[in-house]
Structure 1
Amino acid sequence: MGALSIRNVKKSYGDTHILKGIDLEIEQGQFLILVGPSGCGKSTLLNMIAGLDDISSGEIHIADRLVNNLSPKDRDIAMVFQSYALYPNMTVRKNIAFGLEIRKVPKAEQDAIINRVAKTLQMEHLLDRKPQQLSGGQRQRVAMGRALARNPALFLFDEPLSNLDAKLRVEMRAEIKLLHQRLGTTIVYVTHDQIEAMTLGDRIAVMKDGEVRQFGSPQQIYDAPADLYVAGFIGSPSMNFIPCQLHEEAGMAVVMLDNGQQAQKVTLGPLLEAQRPFVGQRMILGIRPEQLTDPASAHGDRPDLQSLSATVEMTEPTGPDTLVTVTLNGVRTVARCHPRAAGAPGQAVQLSLDPTKALLFDPHSEKRVG
């Protein structure tokens, strides 16, 4: 049974098109992330799933029920907001119980649900406190508890961690991940944070300008981004985009990378049929920083690894590794190296490029080729 099906959903305000035909589908128990920059339409889509905003056209099905014309209370959903939306004059117990009282759940059943939720979220000791006596993370936990008490078909999270500091955000992210694994709930989660998207979701919809640019698993989107936008948005640091010209030598795809002193030939692997029309043309080579590294970190005994020399412009230590900025074909390019192999500004370094991870993009359509 499909937990959520979104079919050609559009949203317009007059001549302004906010959503331009969204198609998404997830199964029971999956964790869907809607990710993208501010203004891409992800929160609008979430509000339409919740029934807080009208649909201009298309269909939304929750648990195989068409919900276009159902009010939020009839959609069997629970929503967790960025602002927590707790009642300040009520205790945690009362906040969790409020929706149960509205639905006239018997008192004994209410108590059992509250105890179960409190135990699940490890907040039994908070039940008699009021929101002003809680930290930001505790308030968010209460908001989640109130949603869990509903036991709905679908949980909706609207940037729930954006008000928390960095350390607490990491901790709460882990809580949400563990909660999903324990309960097998179906979740739709909106965020602008690609780290949250990669770590939490089973499925990710990367959005821009009211469209889904790619929909897939985190690894699919990371390894095979559909276009330059997705490739640059997902991953930290971002993928390097190096302008180049594609050549063919004995059936192999070849590009030249200039470090400012010499041009160096890089063989990317067998030329794919989809790439053949681009031979002799300008393209964009995409390579992630961890796929451009020092030879020891790259397991330099692999015969297909491509060796490059470059001059260090800047280093950024991160602890376990160091980000090394060099220039290739006139653009700053980031390599991820072991701290002992990072070099210093002005120093020459040897780098290994993994050609099996290199991608080529059409600079005109911005689509990945091959």
Structure 2
Amino acid sequence: MGALSIRNVKKSYGDTHILKGIDLEIDKGQFLILVGPSGCGKSTLLNMIAGLDDISSGEIAIADRVVNKLSPKDRDIAMVFQSYALYPNMSVKKNIAFGLEIRKVPKAEQEEIIARVAKTLQIEHLLDRKPSQLSGGQRQRVAMGRALARNPTLFLFDEPLSNLDAKLRVEMRTEIKLLHQRLGTTIVYVTHDQIEAMTLGDRIAVMKDGEVKQFGSPQEIYDTPANLYVAGFIGSPAMNFIPVQLGEEGGHAVVVLDNGSTPQSVRLGPISEAQRAFVGKQVILGVRPEQLTDPESAHSDRTNLQSLQATVAITEPTGPDTLVTVTLNGVKTVARCHPRAAGHPGQAVTLVLDPTKALLFDPASEKRLA
């Protein structure tokens, strides 16, 4: 049974098109992430699922029931907002119980639900406190508890961690993931943070300008991005994009990388038909920083690693590794290296590239050449 189906959904205000035909579907128990920059339409789409915003055209179904004309209270959803939206004059217990009282759930059943939710979220000791007496993370747990108390078909999260500091964001991210694993709930989660998207989601919809640019699992989107936008948006640090001329040698794609003094020929994977059409033309080589590293850190079982000489421009220690910026084909390129192999600015270093992971893109259409 499909927990959520979004079929050719559009949203317009006069001649301004906010959503331009969204098609998404997830199964019961899946965790869907809507990710993209501010203004891409992700929160508008979430509000349309919730019934807080009208649909211009298309269809939204929750648990195989079309909900276009239903009010929010009749959609069997619960929403966790960025602002927590807690009642300041009520205790934690009363905040969690409020929706239950509105639906006239018997008092004894309310007590059971509150006890279960409080135990799940480890907030039993906070039930008598007011929101003003809680930390940001505790308030977020209470907001989640209020949603869990309803036991809906669908949970909607609207950037719930954006008001928290960096350390607390990581902790709450883990809490939400554990909660999903324990309860098997179906969740739609809006964020602009691609790390949240990668760590939390079963399925990710990467959005831009009111369109879904790619929909798939986190690993699919990371390993095989559909276009330059997705490749650059997902991943931290971002993928390197290097302009190259594509050649062919022995059935393999070949490119030349110049460190400013020495052109170096690099043999990539077997050339595809889509790539062969670009032989002799300019394409964009996409390489993630962890796929360009020092020989010591490279996978020892890889026999086809390609060596490159480069000069260090900048080093950025992160603790377990160091980000090393070099210049290839006139473009600043980031490699992820072991700290003791990172070198110093101005020093020559040897890097190795995993050609099986390198991607090629059409500069005009920006699509990946599969």
Aligned match of 1:358: 358
In the TM superposition, what is the alpha-carbon distance from 1:326 to its structure 2 partner?
0.1
Q: 2: CA distance between counterparts of 1:302 and 1:7?
A: 44
**Is the 1:300–1:352 Cα contact (8 Å) retained in structure 2?**
no
Aligned residue number for residue 145 of structure 2: 145
1:194 aligned onto 2:203: no
Structure-to-structure mapping, 1:95-106, within 5 angstroms: 95-106=95-106
Distance 1:191 1:302 in 2: 36
Report the counterpart of residue 243 of structure 1 in structure 2: 243
Taking the aligned partners of 2:122 and 2:248, their CA distance within structure 1 comes to 60
Partner of 1:332: 332
Pairing of 1:48-63 with structure 2 (within 5 A): 48-63=48-63
What are the Cα deviations for residues 106-137 of structure 1, in whole angstroms up to 9, with x where unaligned? 00000000000000000000000000000000
1:127-165 Cα distance to aligned partner (Å, 9 max, x none): 000000000000000000000000000000000000000
Q: Distance in 1 between matches of 2:117 and 2:184?
A: 15
Q: Distance in 2 between matches of 1:347 and 1:156?
A: 51
Deviation digits for residues 337-360 of structure 1 (CA, Å, limit 9, x no counterpart): 000000000000000000000000
2:93 partner SS: helix
Q: TM-score, with normalisation over the residues of structure 1?
A: 0.99
Q: For residues 302 and 78 of structure 1, what CA distance do their matches in structure 2 show? A: 48
Q: Does 1:221 align with 2:221?
A: yes
CA distance in 2, matches of 1:305, 1:250: 17
Distance 1:282 1:300 in 2: 32
Q: Structure 2: which amino acid aligns with 1:210?
A: G
Structure 2 CA distance, aligned partners of 1:302 and 1:199?
27
In structure 1, what is the Cα distance between the partners aligned to 2:365 and 2:304? 30
User: How far off is 1:170 after superposition?
Assistant: 0.4
For 1:129, give the aligned amino acid. Answer: R
Tell me which residue corresponds to 2:208: 208
Displacement of 1:301 in angstroms is 6.1
User: Are 1:170 and 2:167 counterparts?
Assistant: no
Amino acid across the alignment from 1:177: K
Shift of 1:85: 0.3
Tell me the amino acid that sits aligned with residue 244 of structure 1. V
Shift of residue 250 of structure 1? 1.9
- How many aligned residue pairs are there? 370
**Residue matched to 1:264:** 264
User: Which range is displaced more, 103-112 or 244-253?
Assistant: 244-253
**Structure 2: 5+ residue stretches without partners:** none
Report matched runs for 1:63-78 at 5 Å.
Answer: 63-78=63-78
Q: CA deviation at 1:296?
A: 1.2
Q: CA deviation at 1:252?
A: 1.3
Secondary structure of 1:278's aligned partner: coil
CA–CA separation in structure 1 for the residues paired with 2:218 and 2:365: 23
In 2, the alpha carbon distance for the partners of 1:367 and 1:272 equals 14
Whichever residue aligns with residue 270 of structure 2, its letter is P
Quote how far apart the aligned CAs of 1:308 are: 0.1
* Distance in 1 separating the partners of 2:302 and 2:8: 47
Q: Which residue does the alignment assign to 1:31?
A: 31
Which residue of 1 is the match for residue 253 of structure 2?
A: 253
User: How far did residue 251 of structure 1 move?
Assistant: 1.4
Give a deviation string over 1:216-264, Cα, whole Å, max 9, x none: 0000000000000000000000000000000011211100000001100
How far residue 299 of structure 1 moved from its aligned partner, in angstroms, is 3.0
Matched, 1:3 2:12: no
Which moves more between the two structures, 185-194 or 264-273?
264-273
Q: Which amino acid aligns with 2:80?
A: V
Q: Deviations over 1:192-219 (max 9, x none)?
A: 0000000000000000000000000000
Distance in 1, matches of 2:161 and 2:301, equals 43
Determine helix, strand or coil for the equivalent of 1:260.
coil
> Could you tell me which amino acid in structure 2 is paired with residue 362 of structure 1?
D
TM-score between the two structures when normalised by the length of structure 2: 0.99
Instruction: Name the structure 1 match of 2:159.
Output: 159
Amino acid at match of 1:236: S
Question: Shift of the alpha carbon at 1:302?
Answer: 3.0
How high is the sequence identity, in percent, across the aligned residues? 86
**How far 1:303 sits from its partner (Å)?**
2.5
Q: Tell me the residue number matched to 1:20.
A: 20
